[in-house]
């Protein structure tokens, strides 16, 4: 293999130019809010000698960044929904500015072995769907442009001119493994042309939906490391791709480890000397008992609560106030720090053991609350561009508290919000009128990107079921009446096979004509 013909001086010069270019990019209005734990020198040294191809992703990211800021200024929002289907995306272009590629949908429709939203599909599943959708957007953009340009300028005003290049926002889940898998996934997303991806703080493989054991999150630092790995990958590629810091702490019931003292305030333990939960579950399993019921019973017997709550139970009013005052002197206090403070102030012993309550899989129990979510979001904010606190159910008080608390620290922060599939707004206390204006009320809090992630499940299933019933009972007469005639007679005509421009017939003709040497665009 020949050696590179570059002198060390030239190598150094190119390196320094790269460092300067990175520093310039980082201080641009688009990126100046980001704070990295590494330098431009480190990133420049991590690059290959040929620039990474990130321009499509960067173009789309900047477009999205501008859209979101315009909404923020106007107090409005983008309302989009999730799909994995390029045909559906071609219609969304007429009403949505962005497209969402949902992990849950990919897990149902884009893999050989479908399943519930456990994020157990291969790590490159969602990037591949983004690539498919991005290429279809390019194709629609190309065929529309060619169709327009084959018409003289005076006729073009009347021709369709949709913005097919809607920025794609995609689900990066938890990064699918260690930091290097997270980086590889981020790279595939950039290569695919994504505008923004979201990364969350969920533990891999631990989502349980039916057994009453909800979400498990990872320690704060592990979450921040994931985000940093993605940011680093974007930086190595020199891309402008946006990072949406999603936090799934709301209603999470477990945390994988207590290694990070920032999480200690929210970890629960037993406050009574009981046998360990794991031992109790093993015995119950051997006896064939209902594990869910045994777990609930154990929790009540063990007096499950956080250390501070345990202090609250045994301390006098004055002691509790003194305890809280002492804690407020520093931002975070570890469990051992809390024990020391309690030992000095509280006369009674505070029994608290978070090992006794570890789950069958070893997780620690967690008490999620808005304060904890705010702390995570604030810690993550400097690494990303937009924040999303995913909620299990919509609680207006929590929504307002979360977004206003984050904005106290980051007044210009932009937020995302997911209308997760089975939100029960009536049960959550929303009146019909409040639901009607909800997207606008959320926009006022800075929630500029709002998504119904899984429309393809509920919405498409409903429409498909209705059509399939009609087709089965009415045959072609029903099709003509309820689909074909309205589609053909609507103005403009619904996109479909009859519309050659939409299906790319003219584009294919243009290729044939070009090969045959026929002029297809008149020179003016």
Give the residue numbers of the binding site for Mg(2+): 171
Q: Candidates 61, 92, 104, 206: give the one binding ligand MIC (CB under 6 A).
A: 104
Q: Candidates 43, 56, 82, 183: give the one binding ligand MIC (CB under 6 A).
A: 82
Q: Candidates 231, 390, 403, 413: give the one binding ligand MIC (CB under 6 A).
A: 390
- DSSP-assigned states of every residue in 459-479: HHHHHHHHHHHHHHHHHHHHH
Residue 117 or residue 225: which is nearer to ligand MIC going by CB? Answer: 117
Q: Please report whether residue 394 would count as binding ligand MIC according to CB under 6 A.
A: no
Annotated binding site: 171
In this structure, the dihedral spanned by the alpha carbons of residues 48, 49, 55 and 58, taken in order and rounded to 10 degrees, is 50
Residue 106 or residue 414: which is nearer to ligand MIC going by CB? Answer: 106
Residue 104 or residue 194: which is nearer to ligand MIC going by CB? Answer: 104
Q: Please report whether residue 235 would count as binding ligand MIC according to CB under 6 A.
A: no
Q: Please report whether residue 456 would count as binding ligand MIC according to CB under 6 A.
A: no
- Rounded least distance, CB 263 to ligand MIC, Å: 21
- Rounded least distance, CB 4 to ligand MIC, Å: 45
**Beta strands in 68-181, from DSSP E residues, in sequence order:** 78-81, 99-101, 168-171
Q: Please report whether residue 117 would count as binding ligand MIC according to CB under 6 A.
A: yes
Q: Please report whether residue 387 would count as binding ligand MIC according to CB under 6 A.
A: no
Coil/strand/helix, residue 320: helix
The CA distance from 183 to 476, in Å, is 51
- Nearest Cα to 414, choosing from 26, 57, 75? 75
Q: Please report whether residue 84 would count as binding ligand MIC according to CB under 6 A.
A: no
Question: In the bound complex, which residue of the shown chain has the CB atom lying closest to ligand MIC?
Answer: 102
Q: Please report whether residue 418 would count as binding ligand MIC according to CB under 6 A.
A: yes
Q: Please report whether residue 102 would count as binding ligand MIC according to CB under 6 A.
A: yes
Coil/strand/helix, residue 407: helix
Q: Please report whether residue 202 would count as binding ligand MIC according to CB under 6 A.
A: no
289-295 CB contacts, 8 Å cutoff, 24+ apart = 291/211, 292/211, 292/212, 295/212
The CA distance from 446 to 377, in Å, is 14
Residue 421 or residue 459: which is nearer to ligand MIC going by CB? Answer: 421
Number of residues that bind ligand MIC (CB under 6 A): 12
2's tokens: 């020949």
Residue 175 or residue 453: which is nearer to ligand MIC going by CB? Answer: 453
Q: Please report whether residue 216 would count as binding ligand MIC according to CB under 6 A.
A: no
Region for 303 from its dihedrals, namely left if φ exceeds 0, alpha if ψ lies in -120 to 50, beta otherwise: left
**∠ CA 516-520-522, rounded to 5°:** 135
Residue 171 or residue 375: which is nearer to ligand MIC going by CB? Answer: 171
Order of strands across the sheet with 99-101?
A: 78-81, 447-452, 414-418, 386-389, 242-247, 196-199, 168-171, 99-101
Coil/strand/helix, residue 223: helix
Are 291 and 329 contacting, i.e. CB atoms less than 8 angstroms apart? no
- Rounded least distance, CB 348 to ligand MIC, Å: 43
Q: Please report whether residue 421 would count as binding ligand MIC according to CB under 6 A.
A: yes
Site for ligand MIC, rule CB under 6 A:
82, 102-104, 117, 171, 390, 418, 420-421, 453-454
């Amino acid at each position: 293999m020949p050696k590179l013909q570059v002198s060390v001086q030239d190598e150094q010069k190119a390196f320094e130019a790269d460092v300067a270019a990175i520093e310039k990019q980082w201080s641009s209005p688009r990126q100046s809010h980001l704070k990295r734990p590494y330098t431009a020198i480190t990133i420049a040294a991590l690059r290959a000698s040929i620039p990474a191809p990130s321009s499509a992703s960067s173009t789309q990211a900047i477009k999205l960044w501008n859209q979101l800021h315009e909404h923020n200024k106007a107090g409005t929002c983008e309302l989009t929904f999730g799909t994995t289907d390029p045909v559906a995306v071609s219609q969304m272009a007429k009403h949505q500015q962005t497209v969402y590629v949902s992990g849950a949908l990919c897990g149902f429709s884009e893999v050989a072995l479908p399943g519930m939203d456990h994020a157990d599909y291969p790590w490159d599943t969602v990037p591949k769907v983004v690539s498919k959708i991005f290429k279809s957007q390019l194709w629609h953009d190309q065929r529309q442009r060619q169709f327009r340009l084959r018409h003289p300028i005076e006729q073009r005003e009347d021709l369709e001119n949709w913005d097919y290049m809607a920025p794609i926002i995609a689900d990066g889940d938890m990064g699918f493994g260690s930091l290097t898998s997270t980086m590889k996934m981020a790279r595939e997303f950039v290569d695919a042309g994504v505008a923004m991806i979201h990364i969350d703080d969920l533990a891999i493989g631990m989502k349980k939906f039916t057994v009453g054991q909800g979400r498990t999150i990872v320690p704060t630092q592990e979450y921040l490391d994931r985000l940093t790995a993605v940011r680093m990958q974007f930086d190595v590629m020199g891309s402008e791709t946006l990072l949406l810091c999603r936090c799934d702490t709301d209603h999470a019931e477990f945390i994988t480890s207590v290694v990070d003292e920032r999480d200690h305030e929210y970890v629960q333990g037993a406050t009574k000397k009981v046998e360990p939960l794991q031992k109790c579950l093993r015995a119950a399993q051997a006896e064939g008992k209902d594990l869910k019921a045994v777990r609930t019973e154990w929790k009540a017997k063990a007096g499950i609560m956080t250390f501070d709550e345990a202090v609250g139970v045994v301390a006098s009013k004055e002691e509790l106030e003194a305890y809280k005052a002492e804690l407020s002197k520093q931002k975070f206090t570890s469990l051992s720090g809390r024990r020391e403070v309690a030992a000095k102030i509280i006369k009674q012993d505070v029994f608290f053991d978070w090992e006794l309550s570890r789950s069958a899989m070893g997780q620690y129990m967690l008490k999620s609350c808005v304060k904890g979510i705010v702390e995570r979001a604030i810690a993550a904010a400097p690494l990303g561009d937009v924040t999303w606190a995913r909620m299990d159910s919509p609680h207006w008080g929590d929504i307002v508290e979360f977004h206003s608390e984050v904005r106290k620290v980051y007044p210009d922060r932009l937020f995302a919000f997911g209308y997760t599939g089975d939100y029960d707004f009536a049960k959550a206390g929303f009146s019909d009128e409040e639901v009607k204006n909800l997207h606008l009320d959320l926009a006022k809090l800075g929630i500029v990107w709002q998504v119904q992630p899984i429309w393809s499940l509920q919405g498409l299933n409903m429409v498909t079921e209705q059509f399939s019933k009609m087709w089965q009972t009415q045959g072609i007469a029903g099709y003509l009446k309820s689909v074909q005639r309205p589609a053909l007679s609507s103005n403009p005509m619904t996109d479909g096979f009859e519309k050659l421009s939409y299906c790319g017939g003219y584009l294919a003709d243009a290729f044939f004509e070009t090969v045959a040497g026929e002029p297809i665009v008149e020179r003016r």
